[in-house]
Amino acid sequence: DRLAHALAAGQRDRRRVAVFFIDLDGFGRINDSLGHDLGDELLRQVAGRLRASCHASDEPPLPGPRSEVARMGGDEFTVLLSAMTEADEAVALARRILTMFARHFTLGSHEVFVTPSIGIAVSPDDGDDAETLLTHADTAMYEAKTQGGNGYQLYSRSMNTTALQRLTLESDLRRALEREELVLHYQPIVDTTSGAIVGAEALVRWRHPTLGLLMPGEFIAIAEENGLIVSVGDWVLRTACAQNRAWQRAGLPPIRVVVNLSGRQLRQGTLTDTVQAALEASGLEPRWLGLELTESMLMERQHEGVAALQALRAMGLRLSIDDFGTGYSSLSYLKHFPVDTLKIDRCFVRDLTSVPDDAAITSAIIAMAHALDLKVVAEGVETEGHLTFLRSQGCDEVQGHLLGRPVEEDRFAEWLARPRPGLRSRRPAERSA
Ligand code: C2E
Ligand code: MG
Ligand code: MG
């Protein structure tokens, strides 16, 4: 939440925000040998030193950069450095932290040394949203660890995409499925009127053994090039269906899970069989599954694709067009495709409240979609302002950080289990009058 605020403020003031991902080297060993009580004590002292590094007296007074420390769990900490002008300011802080750890810690009668591995990602170059920045800081932290620990690394795009790594990514991906390294995160889709969670978008992530958590932007394109996307897509469909059925069996309110398709899956000609198999294996009724396609996928394969989509639609699946507004956005073709939902791309939503054109386009898309008897979902809803506008325009469903980020299945189940939350109570910080 703080990070999101800092990013929003940074965008306004054209200032940078840095995220540090810090993991202690060898903490597990200390914890195991000295016991958990002393381990906890060490974490408290580490937190104290991190805070002290952030508020060192040589830090320029306001309005210079501001920093905050958080513990993410275990021996992982993050530092948020906001309102920076130069990335150097982050490096200076990293150095200060390392100096602070050069001194031993006293735990009872023991003197121990523990060092940090620090990964740093800086907005806007390394990402402009919280999830991306954290992921990239995490990747950089892994790099710092690989270099032997007790150091810092700035994230660089090349960490994920050098030719060499790309090569290994490609062969790693072949084994990722067997090794069960892929995971799905689920992001709530909320009914604009009732505030109830009515769906979840399944978003794939890859827990890479050395690179950390990879986002789809970092490997889907590779999977598309080498054809592995078909196996990845099968896995996503089977997992999402099984998960949705498991939630239903657990007595949670039934929702629709939507899965993103890639063009290659549609071209393959086996999509209907794959979907049918996933439904049968899980016992999920087709009406609880949705598929998202992009405009370009539909344009590419007018004829072959349509038959498959028609078959799926006839089975009772819900089909939506993802990222609507970024492609051809042709009204006439909508009539040729058996879709029932348009998903407005988040680039329009982002500037809804500041760019009049985007507000006009969004209203027009909603009105047009309704005239064609299509439902409208808006993605990337981040602020109350976005929500208020979309609600006033009759947008049916919303998805975005305001309503909930993509999370693991357990966390999502907790959200589902809450008595009809309503859009407002998702924000506990607000007045509860
Ligand atoms: P998408 O289908 O448009 O998914 C929405 C993306 O927007 C997700 O990114 C989500 O985390 C992000 N997002 C959601 N709410 C907000 C918000 O309020 N603000 C901002 N800034 N972003 C928000 P993610 O998970 O990185 O996915 C990126 C893209 O990767 C997806 O875009 C989709 O095209 C593709 N993808 C994800 N999972 C799969 C999959 O299983 N198969 C295929 N073929 N593609 C996938
Ligand atoms: Mg999508
Ligand atoms: Mg989208």
Start-end of H helices in 107-162 = 130-146, 158-161
What residues contact residue 201 under an 8 Å CB cut-off, 6+ apart? Answer: 186, 187, 189, 257, 258, 260, 292, 399, 406
Decide: 129 in ligand 1 pocket, CB within 6 A. yes
Nearest to 423 by CA among 251, 198, 253, 255: 198
Give residue 281's pLDDT.
Answer: 97
Give residue 374's pLDDT.
Answer: 94
Tokens of 320: 């939506």
Query: Which ligand approaches the C-alpha of residue 383 most closely?
Result: 1
Output the CA–CA distances (angstroms, integers) from residue 399 to 49, 251, 416, in the order listed. Answer: 39, 24, 15
Give residue 432's pLDDT.
Answer: 35
DSSP code of 184? E
3-state secondary structure of 282: helix
**Phi/psi at 271 (5° precision):** -60, -45
Decide: 382 in ligand 1 pocket, CB within 6 A. yes
Given the structure tokens 């270099």, which residue do they identify? 147
Give residue 433's pLDDT.
Answer: 31
**Angle (CA) 281 287 288, round 5°:** 65
Output the CA–CA distances (angstroms, integers) from residue 294 to 62, 146, 321, in the order listed. Answer: 46, 38, 5
Nearest atom, ligand 1, residue 406 CA: 11
To test the pocket of ligand 1, the residue of 203, 214, 350 to mutate (highest count of ligand atoms within 8 Å of its CB) is 203
Output the CA–CA distances (angstroms, integers) from residue 395 to 162, 191, 352, in the order listed. Answer: 42, 9, 13
Decide: 322 in ligand 1 pocket, CB within 6 A. yes
Residue 400 Cα to ligand 3 midpoint, Å, equals 10
3-state secondary structure of 353: coil
Q: For residue 67, how many C-alpha atoms fall within 13 Å in the half-sphere facing its CB?
A: 26
Tokens of 43: 């974490």
Give the separation between CA 182 and CA 177, rounded to whole angstroms. 6
Query: Which ligand approaches the C-alpha of residue 398 most closely?
Result: 1
Give residue 425's pLDDT.
Answer: 42
Give the separation between CA 215 and CA 183, rounded to whole angstroms. 10
In 155-302, DSSP assigns E strands to 182-191, 197-208, 212-214, 256-260, 289-294
Decide: 238 in ligand 1 pocket, CB within 6 A. no
Give residue 97's pLDDT.
Answer: 93
Given the structure tokens 């047009």, which residue do they identify? 368
Give residue 389's pLDDT.
Answer: 96
Decide: 323 in ligand 1 pocket, CB within 6 A. yes
Residue 227 Cα to ligand 3 midpoint, Å, equals 22
Residue 247 Cα to ligand 1 midpoint, Å, equals 22
Tokens of 33: 């040998």
Tokens of 349: 């939503």
**Angle (CA) 24 409 384, round 5°:** 90
Give the separation between CA 272 and CA 259, rounded to whole angstroms. 14
User: What is the pTM assigned to this prediction?
Assistant: 0.66
Residue nearest (by alpha carbon) to ligand 1 atom 15 = 400
Give the separation between CA 52 and CA 69, rounded to whole angstroms. 10
DSSP code of 228? T
Q: Can you spell out the DSSP letters for 16-58?
A: EEEEEEEEEETHHHHHHHH-HHHHHHHHHHHHHHHHHHHT-TT
Residue 103 Cα to ligand 1 midpoint, Å, equals 43
Decide: 350 in ligand 1 pocket, CB within 6 A. no
Residues with a beta carbon under 5 angstroms from ion ligand 2: 260, 292, 322
Give the separation between CA 1 and CA 41, rounded to whole angstroms. 27
Given the structure tokens 């302002």, which residue do they identify? 385
Give the separation between CA 89 and CA 83, rounded to whole angstroms. 10
Given the structure tokens 């200032």, which residue do they identify? 15
Give the separation between CA 400 and CA 122, rounded to whole angstroms. 22
Query: Which ligand approaches the C-alpha of residue 217 most closely?
Result: 1
pLDDT tens digits in sequence order for the chain, 433 residues long: 889 888 988 888 888 899 999 999 888 878 888 888 999 999 999 999 999 988 755 555 445 678 889 999 889 999 999 888 877 788 889 988 998 998 889 998 888 889 999 999 999 888 889 999 998 999 899 888 877 788 999 998 666 555 456 667 778 888 898 889 999 999 999 999 999 999 999 999 999 887 788 889 888 878 887 789 999 999 999 999 999 999 999 999 999 999 999 988 888 888 999 999 999 999 999 999 999 998 877 776 556 778 889 999 999 999 999 988 876 667 667 777 889 999 999 988 998 888 888 899 999 999 999 999 999 999 999 999 999 999 999 999 999 999 999 999 999 999 999 876 555 544 433 333 3
Query: Which ligand approaches the C-alpha of residue 203 most closely?
Result: 1
Other residues' Cβ atoms within 10 Å of the Cβ of residue 279? 21
Residue nearest (by alpha carbon) to ligand 1 atom 8 = 203
Nearest atom, ligand 1, residue 399 CA: 15
